[in-house]
Amino acid sequence: MRRNFRFAIVSDPHVALPHTIWDHPKRFHLVEVSIPALDRIFAHLATLELDFLLVPGDLVQHGERDNHTWLGQRLAQLPYPSFVIPGNHDVPYPEATDTAIGFDEFPRFYRASGYRDTDRHYYTAEPVPGLHLIALNSNIFDAEGVQQGALDDDQLAWLEAELAARRGDRVFVTIHHNVIEHVPQQSRTKMGRRYMLDNAPVLRKLLEDSGVPVVFTGHLHVQDIAATDRLYDITTGSLVSYPHPYRILEYDTDCHGGAWLKIESYRIDSAHIWDDLGHFSREWMGDRSRPFMLRLLTEAPLNMSLEQAEPLLPDLRYFWADIADGDSQFDFGHFPPKARRFFEAFSARTFDRAPSFIDNFATLRLCEPTSLPPARRPRRIEVSQS
Ligand SMILES: [Fe+2]
Ligand SMILES: [Fe+2]
């Protein structure tokens, strides 16, 4: 096995300088961790031979000019290249406000992180020789100025042309919104849908037909690897919510022409004023999970009454923290049958529903680009848990 390149992923850092922090008791994200946690990660990465860093969006707390300025400059100082894309929190408004940047301004803050010579919100780069990174923008605004998570027609046409020009090359794609479902019925429930790209099926088909093996996403704040039979969606949890993870990945090739992606996950266990960040943060999430769990119980598909839902809540206090951790197996044997089936379906499973532990540590076989037409390519998903 020959190592071709090594890269890291830090997602949803939601950077917040102290004077920008939104002070509210219901705030879900521990944004005060963002800068000390980034410092810890950069110290770790400095000890590796790293080829590049990927940050798939939600770079700052909520569009703040000061935070974008800080992060753009910090990334520019790193000894390896970095590549960012905008998340919904990076460009929340079409026009600038007193504190937040306008949508058009985003590329200017990240000239050293992918937007060197473009004012468009999407680009291609060659982080290492022979690897084409296609970085996409999933933020658009409707006629009323309301933000949506989708690719617009112009970008889709551009992407189609890029993929056609790169056919047979090694291509990775990154985008903030999820492209493959990471939790059950993500595209069909109100709560899940907002984390999916609206036109995910279109993008999925385009990537699969073009032989792109993997897309890196964020947004969901969960450690998870999902796949169709030809495409992986590797989503990385948020740096500012439990379990404060980041990933280091190695791309290897073997002498038979096979390509492998080895994934390792790490977590920040102390930062800011917390020596035991993991414990504090899990409790913080548990303390704030009640309204969220109540919605899961009372909205479709469970549609429980408040009286039915209430007794189940204590057992769901850490449910979302466990999901965010990745690789969780759930047993709700004492729940009513329908609720039991619903919540146990969130257990980590392989594509044929067997228990699986690939969300944090895994070695994935990537289908190398091939001259075979898509329909004749061998189905492939090979995973080894490591
Ligand atoms: Fe997001
Ligand atoms: Fe986020």
Rounded mean pLDDT, 260-267: 96
186, 201 contact by CB (below 8 A): no
In a domain, 163, yes or no: yes
Asked if the model's pLDDT at residue 63 lies above 60, the reply is yes
Is residue 181 pLDDT above 80, yes or no?
yes
**pLDDT band at residue 372 using 50, 70 and 90 as cut-offs:** very low
Indicate the SS3 state at residue 89: coil
DSSP tag of 172: E
* pLDDT computed for residue 375 by the predictor: 47
Q: How far is the CA of 89 from the centre of ligand 2 (A)?
A: 7
Instruction: For residues 168 and 21, state if they share a domain.
Output: yes
Nearest ligand to the CA of 324 is 2
The lowest-confidence range among 84-88, 233-237, 376-380 is: 376-380
Closest by alpha carbon to 78, among 39, 36, 130, 117? 39
CA of 30 to the centre of ligand 1 (A): 15
pLDDT digits (tens, 9 = 90+) for 106-118: 999 999 999 999 9
67 plus 101 within the same structural domain: yes
* 146 and 51 co-located in one domain: yes
CA dihedral 115→118→124→125, nearest 10 degrees, is: -50
Under the banding of pLDDT at 50, 70 and 90, the label for residue 256 is: confident
The three-class DSSP label of residue 310 is helix
Q: Does 371 score more than 50 pLDDT?
A: no
> Can you tell me the mean pLDDT for 118-135?
97
Out of 105-109, 131-135, 181-185, which region has the weakest mean confidence (pLDDT)? 181-185
CA 371 to ligand 1 center in whole angstroms: 36
Could you tell me if 219 and 335 lie in one domain? no
Q: Specify if 365 maps to a domain.
A: no
Whole-number percent of the chain with pLDDT over 90: 81
Confidence band (pLDDT; 50, 70, 90) for 166? very high
Q: What is the pLDDT of residues 319-353, one digit of tens each?
A: 999 999 999 999 999 999 999 999 999 998 766 66
Quick one: pLDDT at residue 351?
62
Q: How far is the CA of 176 from the centre of ligand 1 (A)?
A: 7
| Ligand nearest to C-alpha 60 | 2
Answer whether residue 370 shows pLDDT above 60: no
Q: How far is the CA of 177 from the centre of ligand 1 (A)?
A: 7
Structural domain of 43 = 2-267
- Residue 383 pLDDT: 58
Same domain, yes or no, for 89 and 169? yes
What are the φ/ψ torsions at residue 178 (nearest 5 degrees)? -70, 145
* Ligand 1 geometric centre to CA of 337 (Å): 33
Residue that is written with structure tokens 């067997």 in the block:
354
Indicate whether 155 pLDDT > 70.
Answer: yes
Residues 223 and 321 in one domain: no
Question: In this predicted structure, what is the pLDDT of residue 366?
Answer: 86
Per-residue pLDDT, 367: 66
Ligand 1 centroid to 57 CA: how many Å? 7
Inside any domain, residue 384: no
Ligand 1 centroid–CA 58 distance in Å is 5
Cα(191)–Cα(212) distance, integer angstroms? 29
310, 195: one domain: no
Are 96 and 132 contained in the same domain?
A: yes
Residue 357 is assigned to a structural domain of this protein: no
The number of the ligand nearest the C-alpha atom of 195 reads: 1
In angstroms, what is the span from residue 175 Cα to ligand 2's centroid? Answer: 12
Is 33's pLDDT higher than 60?
Answer: yes
The alpha carbon of 195 and the centre of ligand 2 are apart by a number of angstroms equal to 10
Give, as residue ranges, everything with CB less than 5 Å from ion ligand 1.
58, 87-88, 219
CB 186 within 8 A of CB 193: yes
pLDDT at 188 over 60: yes
The strands making up 214-217's β-sheet, listed across from edge to edge, are 123-125, 131-135, 170-174, 214-217, 232-235, 224-227
Residue 381 has pLDDT above 70, yes or no: no
264 pLDDT higher than 70: yes
- 43 HSE (CA, 13 A, CB side): 7
Q: Is residue 175 part of a domain?
A: yes
Burial of 42 (0-12, 13-18, 19+ CB in 10 A): middle
Neighbours of 69 (CB within 10 A): 14
Cα of 242 vs centre of ligand 2, distance in Å, is 12
Let me know whether 179 and 234 are in one domain.
Answer: yes
Tokens coding 371 = 């001259």
**Nearest-ligand number for the alpha carbon of 240:** 2
Give the total number of structural domains in the chain: 2
The H-assigned helical ranges of 210-349 are: 277-287, 290-298, 306-309, 319-325, 337-344
Residue 371 lies in a domain: no
Percent with pLDDT over 70 in the chain = 93
Q: What per-residue confidence (pLDDT) applies to 378?
A: 42
Entry pTM: 0.95
The rounded mean pLDDT for the chain is: 92
Alpha-carbon gap, residue 181 to 233, rounded angstroms: 9
Whole-angstrom distance between the N-terminal and C-terminal Cα of the chain?
Answer: 16
pLDDT of residue 25: 74
The CA 370 to ligand 2 mean position distance, Å, reads 35
- Whether residue 379 has pLDDT greater than 50: no
In this predicted structure, the answer to whether residue 238 has a pLDDT above a threshold of 60 is yes
Amino acid 153: pLDDT: 97
Mark whether 153 and 297 lie in a shared domain. Answer: no
50 occurs within a structural domain? yes
In angstroms, what is the span from residue 12 Cα to ligand 1's centroid? 7
352 domain-assigned? no
Residue 385: its pLDDT value, please?
55
Ligand nearest to the CA of 196: 1
Ligand 1 mean position, distance from CA 3 (Å): 32
Distance CA(120)–CA(179), nearest Å, equals 21
User: Do residues 245 and 294 share a domain?
Assistant: no
Cα gap 323→346, rounded to integer Å: 7
> Ligand 1 center to residue 89 CA distance, Å?
6
Model pLDDT, residue 386: 56
Compute the distance from residue 211 Cα to the ligand 1 centre, in Å: 27
CATH number where 49 lies: 3.60.21.10
Domain boundary pick from 212, 234, 267: 267
Question: CA 301 to CA 74: how far, in whole Å?
Answer: 45
* One domain for residues 114 and 63: yes
Distances (CA, A) of 96 to 62, 113, 117, 138, 155: 12, 22, 22, 19, 23
Kindly indicate the confidence band of residue 384, based on its pLDDT and cuts at 50, 70 and 90. low
Q: Who wins on pLDDT, 59 or 356? A: 59
